[in-house]
Amino acid sequence: MTIIVHHLENSRSQRVLWLLEELRVSYEVKRYERNKVTMLAPPELKRIHPLGKSPVIEDVAPAGGDRVVVAETGAIIEYLVEKADGRLGPPARREDVLRYRFFLHYAEGSVMPPLLVNLVLSKVPLLGKVAMKRIQPMIDVHLDFVEAELKSRDWFAGDQFTAADVMMSFPLEAARSRGGLDGGRPATIAWLDRIHARTAYQAALAMGGPYAFA
């Protein structure tokens, strides 16, 4: 079967390209640009999935065979890890398995919501800046937690790089861009430098096109 990644510029779908490069799974990319005014995904994505969001992948069998559509980054990550026979999936040690599961869901379930609110407020004149000051302490709680975790090990699930690191990349890249993450949290910055230096990460950037957060 052929993996087709419906990739929106400057979005969570960059993680999907990166994971595919890490897994060395062949894939195709269909690129989409955001509306320059609203910054939303184009309506064409609704032809692939009713929500019209990215990322979404298609796993298509040759000669008009079965077609599987998977949306939501976490679900896509788990689908691809399973398809790759568990590579970059849960580690062997039980405590690392629990960390892996936690960070796989924590990335979108806890870290991204306040960052997204912060982004929306940044577009609101005057009152938005005032409200952002109330959101930043919520973001700082997460950044402090992440910093403490990465002080004790190189990767989120343990001593080895896993798909949990792929999931955590977008929120921390977004935090570095607009959420107050800076050199005051050196372990997190070092982790970002490590992932950005990976060959597969660089290959994914070449496949996906411009990405503002790298």
Domain positions in the chain: 2-88+200-208, 94-198
Burial letters 133-143, b for 16+ CB under 10 A, else e: eebeeebbebb
pLDDT of residue 64: 66
Which residue did the predictor score with more confidence, 196 or 63? 196
The answer to whether residues 171 and 107 touch, using CB atoms and an 8 Å cutoff, is yes
Percent of residues in the chain assigned helix, strand, coil, to nearest 5: 55, 10, 35
Structural fold of domain 94-198? Glutathione S-transferase Yfyf (Class Pi); Chain A, domain 2 (1.20.1050)
Domains 2-88+200-208 and 94-198 fall in the same CATH topology: no
CATH number 3.40.30.10 is the correct assignment for the domain at 2-88+200-208: yes
Burial letters 44-60, b for 16+ CB under 10 A, else e: ebeebbeebbbbbbbbb
**Predicted confidence (pLDDT) per residue in 172-212, tens digit:** 999 999 999 999 999 999 999 999 999 999 999 999 998 98
Q: Are strands 56-60 and 27-32 parallel, antiparallel or unpaired?
A: unpaired
Enter the pTM of the model.
0.93
